[in-house]
Amino acid sequence: MDLALLLGLDQLLVPNELKELFTSGCALSNLFVRSNDVKDLDKAIHAFGQVISALTEEDGLRADALREIGTSYVKKYGVSGQVPDLRRGLDLYEKGIDTMEVNFALKADYETRLAMMHRFAFSETADSSNLERAKHFGERAVNNGSSKPVDRAQYLTNLSRIFHTSYQKTGNLEELNHARELSVKAVDLRPPTSTAFFEEHLIQLGFVTLGRYIATGAIADLNRKWAELQMNLSLAYHLRFQRTQTPGDLEQCEMISRRVIELKPDPLYQGKAWQQLALISMDQYERHKVIGSLNAIDHVDAAIQNFREALQVTPPSIAARQSEYLSNIGVAYIARYKITGSAEDLDQAADAYQKAIQMKPEAERDNFLSAGLATVFELRRGRGSNADDIQQALDLLRITLENPSVSLQSRVEAGMRMMYLQASTGKLEEANRVSNTILGLIPLLTPRFLGVADKQQLLRSLTSFASDAAAVALMADQSPFEALSVIELGRGAILGSLIDLRSDISELHEKYPDLAGKFVELRDRIDAPIPSTQTHFIELQRARQKIRELSQQVREIPGWETFMNSAAEDEELTPTEWELRMDVDDLTEDYPDIANEFYELIDRLDEPMPSIEDHISQRNKSSEEIERLIQEIREMPGMGRFLLAPTETEIISAAEEGAIVVINVSQYRCDAFVIHEGHIGVVPLPGASLLDVQDLSKRPLDDEYVLEWLWTTIALPVLDSLGISQTTESSWPRIWWVPTGPLANFPIHAAGFHRNTPGMSVLDRAISSYSVSVRAIIHNRQYRVRHTTTPKPHKALLVSMSKTPGHASLGFVDKEMKEVERRCSSLQLSVTKPETVRNSVLEALIDCDVFHYAGHGRTDPLDPSQSSLLLSDWMKTPLTVGTLLDTNIQQRRPFLAYLSACGTGRVRNPELINEGIHLISAYQLAGFRHVVGTLWEVNDEVCADMAAGVYEVMCAEGMSDVSPSQGLHHVCRKLRARWLHEMERRSMGLERQRDISKRLDPKINQISADLHTERHGRDAILEDEDQTGPLHWVPYVHYGL
């Protein structure tokens, strides 16, 4: 058949840009899926036809165009119902395959697709020839295709569907048996550790197995595969329950498991079902334990019984399963012991674990068994058992810690248990050695390619490790520097890895520019944000808008009034890319610069949709490459310390502009590491304890009692060690506080006795700043040390959210912004106010010098990386910490981010508090030299006063690296003075009330006394007197230089 006739074309055209024309055809064919407009398909078919006509059979693009035009005709059949369209599509698609190279990697993918298209054609036309062609191409895909399990399983399942369809037509049982054999092969390719991507293969196996049962009554086959499908479904419900805690999922899981047991499948699946019931009982135990229910032990007993049922039905030949059930029995008996305190329960647990271990060859014994038995020995120690139990526990844990084949998470957890057990028995040197081993594993636990959320999940178990290990180091007579290094290496692992990537590498550039170039290239790949479909769409919209604007400018040139009229008329800019290029080609000779700008914008329209999978794979590969490159750099002369933890000299140098105080709170002891005047010292804090801090954290942290406790137990001993004992009005000393653990949310800068005791507060003696780590301070100062001149700030980005969807209006935001904008003018800053949506704000952040946000802040209670500043689109695309950690404006080093919102420096998840991930640290890591934020909820009116005061000081003192902290300090003192005046005024009012009270009738006084007794010592006047009034000035903090 003549090709032009086959394609339905009047003539075959030869465009200049065939690749672009092909891409346009694909875009139009994809557009049809959304528009359902057959005109889009006709345009696509026309474009593909021109490509085909212009190329020879040897050209690979021609084969691609034949397949795409074939697919488009099949799509068109779905609308037109015209069988010729369907047949033309299949013929063209087949021509596309036939002209491909024999060994082309994706050929089998196209063959299996064509096979399924023929199966579809059979279902539409009942033409048996389509079914035969479907089998032909399906078998070619299976025989010649990729050996990768995911690909091969797809070929097998598709071929199974074709033979199942053929059986439904012919009734030939051999075809049904063959369909089932193919499905079994597909399911057997599933990796043992994953069910991802294999659901459709399991479902197809279910269909053909059910079909065979209906045809033959072969119940044995049905039972086995049906049981496997049901147990997978039960597992899915259980996993979802563990994430969502939806009771209905647990009920479904139990119902399915019991149904499987009633069916009595082979022993493997009976055992799995009994185990699933046992795990459900353990989940119910956990829920009842939390609420203190007396029924908790009943659920544990049910779990033990169900685990024993699983063990009983499982034959000895499946030793691995028996070992698993025994270890779970051990877990359940440990849970029972925690309820009963019975030594017999511990003995039963030990017996179960030991039998489980004996059932496995030594090479296959996993950490779970060793760790479980070690737990038993640890609990026995708590009952006063002998040293043998302790040593056995340590030996078992050491096996896991030193086994490189065990997961890093398990090795770290085993090491931590060793350290705590050794420390509690006085083996401090051994505990310190183990902690150093763990410190070497933590960077491996959180490789650079992992995202922030993944790293958070892995680090949850390390909450208090660094603080406790540092305390152990001191108790083992290690130097202050060595103990401080434990804190620096053991906490803040996520921010630390980002600091490494964003460190100033000027020295590397100067000495080894080629290596620096490689490092930057790999760093940028790893540091790039995960691509977003929405972001891609926004970029396309921007490119289209720019094309419209530029084309309008061209139309204003005499003689070019009709240039690209289609772009002006069509809001969606639907002209295909090759049509746009043809218009621009006419422009090239007279206005080449404008034409080049058009070409760049049109190229952006051609950028493919981003692939998250490709991005993650690339980031993983780049992570491995950068680790090798870092080692290569360290081998170069003068670069031996590249990206290593700071040395003692570097840490001491970081305190040249003021003392750095790291406050360590642990279960063993509390200390302040004071870095000052060329020395690292330790100030013991015997008045503080971890329990005290945890108890106080339950109170309002601006409670005067809390501030006075902080002064007495922490701040005063530190200030005394620094020799800061006097109130000063000039030459204020500076202190950078680095609190650890639960103390990270406390306002140490506000510690003190503020009423009637002048000078007895940190606010009266020093200017305070904060940091998440000493390393972060060093990182923030690198740029200033190596760049003696800093560009003068010139642009302010102001984002005002007085009204936020789903939240109360903020009446003082507009006032705050007016005051800030007025002072920005005084500072000669040009003001930008973008649209209050995430992408607009992020785009404006790139070239701003001052960023001021006034509105609501949200602190995520579980995932700190999801804390956010709320913009107009916060419900769909929030401006989160995670988003900011993907933003890098280090090279610009913008001056100030002022976050006038609630809780921008707070971490609410106690498991992640030592990571220091919050909005303040995110903006600092993005590149801002200074960040002002808050520790908890703040008062709307005070926010406006605080911001106005800080900017006023910057206007008076200039935008130096001292002015933000100095401004915040002085405004806090001013607002504190206002609070003290209010308290004094209130006190005077109470005195007048007392005078009136004394003149009352004695009977009324007696009633008042009776009320006083009934209210446990508090009458109305005394209660008012005890109210100190809100200390709204307390939660504001400064991070930075």
User: Model confidence over 225-278: pLDDT tens digits?
Assistant: 566 666 766 766 676 676 566 777 778 778 878 877 877 767 877 888 898 888
The radius of gyration of the chain from alpha carbons, rounded to an integer in Å, stands at 36
Q: Where do the structural domains in the chain lie, given as residue ranges?
A: 1-100, 102-217, 361-502, 504-530+612-634, 533-605, 648-774, 836-977
Alpha-carbon distance values, 1016 to 692, 954, 1006, 1019, 1023 (Å): 26, 51, 16, 9, 11
- Give the amino acid at 24: S
* Separation CA 429–CA 166 (nearest Å): 74
Report whether pLDDT(727) > 80.
no
Give the pLDDT band of residue 662 (cuts 50, 70, 90): very high
Q: Which of 52-66, 118-132, 381-395, 877-891 has the highest mean pLDDT?
A: 118-132
Q: Are 933 and 905 in contact (CB under 8 A)?
A: yes
Instruction: Give the mean pLDDT of 644-652.
Output: 87
Percent of the chain with pLDDT over 90: 26
Side chain identity at 1041, as an amino acid letter?
L
Cβ count near 400 (within 10 Å): 25
Residue 738, phi then psi, degrees to nearest 5? -125, 85
Mean pLDDT of 737-752: 93
DSSP 662: E
Rounded to whole angstroms, the Cα distance separating 773 from 767 reads 18
| Residue 520, pLDDT score | 75
Strand partners, 1036: 934
Q: β-pairing, 930-934 with 1036-1040? A: antiparallel
Q: Which two tokens stand for residue 731?
A: 């030459």
- Which pLDDT value is given to residue 8? 42
Distance between CA atoms of 925 and 897, rounded to whole angstroms?
11
Place of tokens 């979802």: 240
Fold type of domain 836-977:
Rossmann fold (3.40.50)
* Calpha distance 110→723 (Å, rounded): 78
- Provide the pLDDT for residue 789: 53
**Token pair for 912:** 């992640």
* DSSP 8-state code for residue 761: B
% of residues, the chain, pLDDT over 70: 76
3-state secondary structure of 880: strand
Q: Closest Cα to residue 582, out of 189, 17, 14, 5?
A: 17
pLDDT of residue 90 exceeding 50: yes
971 in Cβ contact with 951 (< 8 Å): no
Q: Is the pLDDT of residue 815 over 60?
A: yes
Both structure tokens of 11: 């003539």
- Please state the rounded mean pLDDT for residues 848-871: 87
Of 553 and 216, more confident: 553
Per-residue confidence (pLDDT) for residue 153, from 0 to 100: 85
Reading the block at residue 168, the tokens are: 């439904």
- E-assigned strand segments in 777-849: 795-800, 830-832
The mean pLDDT of 87-98, rounded to a whole number, is 86
**CA nearest neighbour of 841 among 854, 829, 828, 858:** 854
Q: Do domains 102-217 and 361-502 have the same CATH topology?
A: yes
Residues contacting 795, CB < 8 A, separation 6+: 829, 830, 832, 847, 848, 849, 850
For the chain, the residue count is: 1041
Q: Is the dihedral of CA 226, 227, 231, 232 positive or negative?
A: negative
Q: What average pLDDT does the structure give for the chain?
A: 79
Q: How confident is the model at residue 931 (pLDDT cuts 50, 70, 90)?
A: very high
Q: Output the six-digit token pair for 419.
A: 């350290």
pLDDT at position 834, please? 93
Structure-model confidence comparison of residues 542 and 53, the more confident one = 53
Cα dist. 759→387, 674, 737, 843 in Å? 54, 22, 19, 46
Angle between the N-to-C axes of helices 480-490 and 428-445, in degrees from 0 to 180, rounded to the nearest 10:
30
Q: Which of 940, 946, 860 is nearest to 907 (CA)?
A: 860
- Tell me the CA distances in angstroms from 286 to 236, 341, 379, 838, one per residue in order: 19, 17, 19, 40
- Determine contact, residues 73/86, Cβ cutoff 8 Å: yes
Amino acid making up residue 405: S
Rounded to 10 deg, the angle between the 267-290 and 296-313 helix axes is 170
Confidence (pLDDT) at 620: 64
Pairing verdict, β 879-880 and 868-869? antiparallel
The topology (CATH level 3) of 102-217 is 1.25.40
DSSP bridge partners of 672: 663, 683
Of the pLDDT bands very low, low, confident and very high (cuts 50, 70, 90), residue 15 is: very low
CA neighbor of 633 nearest in space, from 517, 487, 730: 517
Q: Which of 308-317, 489-498, 989-998 has the highest mean pLDDT?
A: 308-317
Distance CA 511, CA 197 (A): 49
Please state the rounded mean pLDDT for residues 1006-1010: 37
Residue 365 in tokens? 């014994």
**CB atoms inside a 10 Å sphere around CB 479:** 13
- State which of 34-38, 284-288, 606-610, 980-984 shows the largest mean pLDDT: 980-984
- pLDDT (0 to 100) of residue 388: 75
Going from the C-alpha of 105 to that of each of 62, 102, 134, 148, 630, the distances in angstroms are 17, 9, 20, 12, 36
User: Cα–Cα distance between 998 and 991 in angstroms, integer?
Assistant: 11
Amino acid sitting at position 31: L
- pTM check: above 0.85: no
Residue 934 belongs to what H/E stretch? strand 930-934
- Asked which of 87-101, 500-514, 699-713 is least confident by mean pLDDT, the reply is 500-514
In eight-state DSSP terms, residue 738 is E
Average pLDDT for 951-969: 93
The Cα–Cα gap between 230 and 209 comes to 14
- Please say whether the beta carbons of 116 and 131 come within 8 A: no
CA–CA separation, 716 and 724 (whole Å)? 9
pLDDT confidence bin for 547, thresholds 50/70/90: confident
**862 vs 178: CA distance, rounded Å:** 51
Evaluate if residue 1028 carries a pLDDT over 50: no
Q: Three-state DSSP class for 806? A: coil
CA atoms of 924 and 63, how far apart (whole Å) = 53
Cβ pair 956, 827 in contact under 8 A: no
The closest alpha carbon to 655, from 683, 671, 674, belongs to: 674
| Whole-number Å distance between alpha carbons of 768 and 747 | 10
**175 pLDDT exceeds 80?**
yes
CATH superfamily of 361-502: Tetratricopeptide repeat domain (1.25.40.10)
Question: Taking 50 as the threshold, does the pLDDT of residue 656 lie above it?
Answer: yes
β pairing state of 679-684 and 670-676: antiparallel
DSSP 980-1016: HHHHHHHHHHHHHHHHHHHTS-HHHHHHHHHHHHHTT
* Span between the terminal Cα atoms of the chain, in Å: 78
Residue matched to tokens 């988003």:
883
Q: Answer yes or no: is pLDDT of 887 > 70.
A: yes
Q: Which residues pair with 869 in a beta bridge?
A: 857, 879
Q: In sequence order, which residues have a C-beta less than 8 Å from that of residue 766 and are 6 or more positions away?
A: 719, 724, 732, 733, 734, 735
**Which residue has tokens 């040593």?**
391
CB neighbourhood size of 435 (10 A)? 27
pLDDT for res 62: 84
Closest CA to 438 of 478, 393, 489: 489
Region 688-693: what's the mean pLDDT? 94
Q: Is the dihedral of CA 392, 394, 395, 401 positive or negative?
A: positive
**φ and ψ of 588, to 5 deg:** -60, -45
* Position 489 pLDDT exceeds 90: no
Nearby residues of 987 by Cβ (< 8 Å), 6 or more positions away = 1025
Assess whether pLDDT exceeds 50 at residue 10.
no
> Tell me, what DSSP letter sits at residue 673?
E
852 pLDDT exceeds 90? yes
Residue whose structure tokens are 């800030």: 820
